[in-house]
Amino acid sequence: MKPKRRRLLFVVTGMAMLAIAVGLVLAAFEDNLVFFNSPTDVVEKKVAPNVRIRLGGLVEQDSVLKMGTTTTFRVTDTRHSVAVRYTGLLPDLFREGQGVVTEGRLGEDGVFLASTVLAKHDENYMPPEVADALKKSGHWMGEAAK
Amino acid sequence: MQRWANPTRFLKIAQAVRPWATAATIVCLAVGLVLGLGFSPPDYQQGDTVRIMYVHVPAAWMALFVYTSMAVASAVALIWRHPLADLAAKASAPIGAGFTVIALVTGSLWGQPTWGTWWVWDARLTSVLILLFLYLGYIALWEAIEDPQRAARATAILALVGFVNVPIIKFSVDWWNTLHQPASVLTTRGPTIHGSMLTPLLLMAVGFTLFYIAIVLTRIEREILARRIRALRLLASEEPAKVN
């Protein structure tokens, strides 16, 4: 009975120590573990121009302007928004109100020059008829409402 | 727990359970696939690409579930010296690695049309890749140490240390900004996935779980038999010495 108790204690304390250590490491690396920065991060942290970062948020309503293969739009998190310019092919899901993650650098003029644009999918899955019905009845909780 | 320690009793139970588990696996996967690929509606955003989810999500769940089972079995083996727990963990590892590979590959195939990229180094994708390496490291460590008892001890510790990655994978999408979307089914607010898609998804998940049970029972049985053969060989080689 005695050695079993000792081994149990050993494993439990070992796992607890490990969890604390990993928790501290992850907390310390917080800024490096995020995949993208929100427009609020970019505005408030005063990201320097020409530093390669990822900017993520929602494509602002009525902000998409296409000129040939160059698209300009604004990425917003409803508190702040950043203008983005991108030349190239956009993913199928790209549209106003859609979540996107762009990678590039902030230009001197404050416009974010993106070299890639990825569409972010949300956690809602439903058939098109249900989406239409929700929109019609005013219960739409999609990304545009967030 | 000691009742389960008798390998002969375990073999009897395993042989009784296995045909039922196998039959139920076939039924669940067949119905789930037909419903998921044929009868469930396309998604309002993704269209038919959503059908990859019916394989991807259960595989990812199983990757985590199998690793958790391995960690529990390893703890039982370390603390209570349960003779079958080592074997259960050892038998699970290649199955879990297989589920992880399926989750990574199907996720990549879904990411290309949906996100516009095969792979990104966000917290969710990276932590699942680490899970695959943990599985492979665990398998390699079993092979690297010849003495089965020492191998069992070392691999059990590796499995327990690696377990910290499991909550990281699960909550990575909530703790950090990731490209991967947050959970749709196992959330505190209830599923955000329509019922017509949830039914085939859950059927597939049950099917994957039953598949794991059927395969792991077979693999544990094989390990027990291999251990017996080794013991018999040892006995046979010692016998002449005893006669002298």
**Per-residue pLDDT at A135 exceeds 80:** no
Percent of the residues in chain A that have a pLDDT greater than 90, as a whole number: 24
Residue-number span of the structural domain to which B40 is assigned: 22-185+194-239
- Tell me the shortest Cα–Cα distance from B47 to chain A, in angstroms: 9
The predicted structure's pLDDT at residue A141 = 57
The predicted structure's pLDDT at residue A51 = 85
The answer to whether B151 and B90 are in contact (CB under 8 A) is no
CATH number of the domain within which A79 lies: 2.40.50.140
Structure token pair of residue B107? 């996720």
Q: Are residues A14 and A72 in the same domain?
A: no
The predicted structure's pLDDT at residue B240 = 63
**Residues whose CB is less than 8 angstroms from the CB of residue A61 and which lie 6 or more positions away in sequence, other chains included:** A96, A97, A144
The DSSP bridge pattern shows strands A99-106 and A112-120 to be antiparallel
Q: Are residues A48 and A68 in the same domain?
A: yes
Asked if the interface predicted TM-score (ipTM) of this complex is over 0.85, the answer is no
Asked if the structure places residue A85 within a domain, the reply is yes
**Residues whose CB is less than 8 angstroms from the CB of residue B175 and which lie 6 or more positions away in sequence, other chains included:** A26, A33, B123
Asked if the structure places residue A134 within a domain, the reply is no
What radius of gyration do chain B's Cα atoms show?
A: 21
Structure token pair of residue A34? 């995020």
The predicted structure's pLDDT at residue B106 = 96
CATH number of the domain within which B118 lies: 1.20.120
Asked if the structure places residue A61 within a domain, the reply is yes
User: Structural domain tally of chain A?
Assistant: 2
Nearest C-alpha neighbor of B170 from the set B83, B85, B61: B61
In this predicted model, what pLDDT tens digit does every residue of B61-102 receive, in sequence order? Answer: 999 999 999 999 999 999 988 889 999 999 999 999 999 999
Asked if the structure places residue A132 within a domain, the reply is no
Asked if the structure places residue B85 within a domain, the reply is yes
Find the CB nearest A125 among B50, B113, B123: B50
* Cα distances (angstroms) measured from residue B22 to each of B32, B87, B219: 15, 21, 14
Find the CB nearest B116 among A35, A38, A119: A119
Structure token pair of residue B109? 């195939």
Q: Are residues A25 and A40 in the same domain?
A: no
Q: Which of A11, A35, A103 to mutate to test the interface with B (most CBs of B within 10 A)?
A: A35
Q: Are residues A23 and A72 in the same domain?
A: no
Q: Are residues A52 and A20 in the same domain?
A: no
**Dihedrals phi, psi of B196, to nearest 5 degrees:** -65, -20
Residue-number span of the structural domain to which A13 is assigned: 2-31
Chain B residues within 8 Å of chain A (Cβ atoms): 41-46, 50, 53, 75, 78-80, 113-117, 120-123, 160-161, 163-164, 168, 175-179, 181-184, 187, 192-194, 196-197
pTM: 0.88
The predicted structure's pLDDT at residue B2 = 61
**Per-residue pLDDT at A146 exceeds 70:** no
- Residue B56: band (very low, low, confident or very high) from pLDDT cuts 50, 70, 90: very high
Nearest C-alpha neighbor of B100 from the set B49, B135, B73: B135
Asked if the structure places residue A137 within a domain, the reply is no
Asked if the structure places residue B6 within a domain, the reply is no
Asked if the structure places residue B74 within a domain, the reply is yes
Asked if the structure places residue B110 within a domain, the reply is yes
